[in-house]
Structure 1
Amino acid sequence: MRLLALFALLLLTPFHALAQSKLDTAPRTAIISAFEPEWIALGRTVTGKQEWSVNGVRFIAGTMAGKPVLLFLSGVSMVNAAMTTQLALDRFTIRRIVFSGVAGGVDPGLDVGDVVVPDRWGQYLESVFARADGKGYAPTEGLLDQPAFTPHGMIYPRSVLVRRDGTLQPERRFWFDADPGLLAVARKVARTTALARCRETLCFARQPKVVVGGNGISGPVFMDNAEFRQYAFAAFKAQATDMETAAVAQVAYANSIPYIAFRSLSDLAGGDPGKNQAHAFYRIASDNSADVVTRFIDALDP
């Protein structure tokens, strides 16, 4: 009878509910990277590995600095980052989210090699493309934030609507704050971390540093334009730009999960002295970001 009852229960349970069960119930820190060089640098420090593949995404659980972690690649782009982050939250038990990777430097006070840990992230291309009106550009009435962000030509940035548990109506937000407690740990780590300046024969122009604070911006664009870089710094006071973190930050906010992001500058998003430097420096930049993240995980409370 018990077997019959169990069989009947399985028949009545929707298939998607069974498919979405947790693969691992151990509470872990999710560590996300966008592409393989970042993933490889972090994977070297993980022990006791266990792997799953879900929807083509490879998840690696294990221990880093004595702490339970879950590593996976977001994939490059805002859509990939949002999709894989939500997938991880649905299938695993995530206590906090840490993003580790490279980025383009926007703040002229920073240089290639620096690792930045912004206080908050926003999507700079969530926007209205305004029509020309003969005198300039006229955005559609009622679509802009008040006060509105400074536009760049026809591009008028605006906030997004976000739904989360405990709210009756969607909330409009541009910035998604990193967790204050995680930022406090990052500041302690920054004070005692010396970043690598060279990898084999390749060296940064100066000794890189870890900078905690400020703003990060993300969009579905590899930014390599000096004019737009100047605009982004003036409009958003941004330290760095990438193609994933703000999407992860929004998913974390919607799920009430603490997050923080470490981004090592592999190029200057169009402000480089010659051609874009990302191809030359992304490996050592990835290693430096991974080093700071490993130290950060070690500094977390058990």
Structure 2
Amino acid sequence: MRFLIRALFAGVAAAAILGGCARTAPTARAVPTAAVPRIAIMSAFDAEWRALRAATEITGTQVVNNRTLYFGRLRGHDVVLLLSGFSMVNAAMTTQALLDRVPVQAVVFSGIAGGVNPGLNVGDVTVPAQWGNYQEQVFARETPQGFVPARKTTDFGGYGMMFPQGTSVTVHGAPADSLVRQFWFPVDSMALGVARRVSSRVTLKRCDADGRCLAHTPKIVVGGSGVSGPTFVDNAAYREWVWATFRADALDMESSAVALVAQENRVPFIAFRSLSDLAGGNAEDNEARVFGRLAAENSAAVVLAFLEALPRRAFTRDVTP
């Protein structure tokens, strides 16, 4: 997800996290949620989910940690819509706060991203099969022999002094506090299959409301990899390293954080990310200032088609928070 463009669209910086203890403040429209399992539809900032919220029949709201949860029906499903906020910390905090309070059947993320795969273009929608936290790193000491990490990292090579390592996660079924390092977090295979089936049925926008058009017809790519980290990337050399190292189609600032929290809570997860720019791979200024909104609308269009095709009881699991 692209921090600079989010600020441009939203007009505000990421909301501050309030206090140390979670506070729930129902509004006048709040509805009880405990008895209704829902699919969570998340985006980082308002422009990314405007089309999704507009398509939802809102039945109530609730504020948790200064984030508004919108409860309702969307394409035949009971849903809860919310903004994660920008970047990894906000995304992880918001996801866990949601899962602690609402019986969530699955998490679906919709938004924009930077394109990494040189075969993809602005406006394309990616639906990766796995997400990696590529900027959790060891900064290595420089020696006459080169940069040497002080601890074991992944098998991926470094970018200068920066060497990616896996994220520490708990081991299900193991003794309490057991941790392992994991780099890739897979999305739900059933959800990915539904996304693959609808990918040939969705027509993506090539032109925005102001008549500015892409030079190509956008496409949908299902499968492959995506990576997330807390930095906005607009650098051609770093983009080339990310592609050569991870073969990632897209990079953003939230998806792998949400994927990690979903895995820890055993909740199915999938993310739809449309390319707003090429992360520094183009010759001109960053494209997201022009085509960010179009990209967000393309992502939302695929999510709506996905929900339309998703069986009504696709996720059957104990969702008691």
TM-score (norm 2): 0.85
The 5 A counterparts of 1:61-210 are 61-140=71-150, 142-145=151-154, 148-163=155-170, 165-168=172-175, 169-200=178-209, 201-210=211-220
Contact 2:58–2:70 (8 Å) recurs in 1: no
- Write the distance in 1 (CA, Å) between the matches of 2:195 and 2:173: 29
1:234 to 218, 226, 244: 244
Change (3 A) 1:135 1:255: same
Pair 1:131–1:42, CA change in 2 (3 A): same
Deviations 1:19-38 (A, max 9, x none): 79x95121111010001101
Opposite residue 153 of structure 2, the aligned amino acid is: L
Partner of 2:258: 248
SS across alignment from 1:187: helix
Q: What one-letter code is carried by the residue in structure 1 that aligns with 2:262? A: A
Using a 3 Å threshold, how does the CA distance of structure 1 residues 51 and 18 change in structure 2: closer, same or farther?
A: closer
Q: Deviations over 1:51-110 (max 9, x none)?
A: 001110110010001111110000011000000000110110100000000000000000
Amino acid paired to 1:204? L
Mapped partners of 1:27, 1:57: distance in 2 = 19
Q: Quick one: percent identity of the two aligned structures?
A: 48
What is the one-letter code of the residue matched to 1:233? W
What are the equivalent positions in structure 2 for 1:273-288 lying under 5 Å apart?
Answer: 273-288=283-298
Greater C-alpha radius of gyration: 1
Given residue 166 of structure 1, which amino acid in structure 2 is its aligned partner?
G
What stretches of structure 1 move > 4 A for 4+ residues in a row? Answer: 16-20
Does the alignment pair 1:44 with 2:54? yes
Residue in structure 1 matched with residue 65 of structure 2 by the alignment? 55
3-state SS of 2:160 partner: coil
Deviation of 1:171 (Å):
2.6
Cα 1:17/1:144, change in 2 over 3 Å: closer
Aligned mates of 1:17, 1:208 — CA distance in 2: 41
Contact 1:164 1:255 in 2 (8 A): no
Q: How many Å apart are 1:294 and its aligned residue?
A: 0.8
Q: Provide the alpha-carbon RMSD of the alignment.
A: 1.8
Equivalent pair of 2:22/2:64 in contact (CA under 8 Å): no
Partner of 1:220: 230
CA–CA distance in 2 between the matches of 1:119 and 1:17?
Answer: 32
**CA distance in 2 between partners of 1:173 and 1:123 (Å):** 9
CA distance in structure 2 between the aligned counterparts of 1:41 and 1:18, rounded to whole angstroms: 28
Figure out how many residues of one structure are paired with residues of the other and give that number: 283
Equivalent pair of 2:208/2:291 in contact (CA under 8 Å): no
**Distance (whole Å) between structure 2 residues aligned to residue 297 and residue 40 of structure 1:** 16
Cα deviation for residue 196 of structure 1 reads 1.1
Distance 1:18 1:150 in 2: 43
Name the residue aligned to 2:302: 292
1:18: how far off?
A: 11
Q: Distance in 1 between matches of 2:252 and 2:65?
A: 24
Q: C-alpha distance in 2, partners of 1:132/1:188?
A: 49
**3-state SS of the aligned residue for 1:294?**
helix
User: What secondary structure does 2:260 align onto?
Assistant: helix
TM-score, normalised via structure 1 length: 0.90
Q: Give the Cα separation in 1 of the matches to 2:50 and 2:73.
A: 15
- Specify the SS of the correspondent of 1:222: coil
- Report deviation, 1:113: 0.4
- Structure 1 residues 48 and 19: alpha-carbon distance in aligned structure 2, compared to 1, 3 A threshold: closer
Query: More helix per residue: 1 or 2?
Result: 1
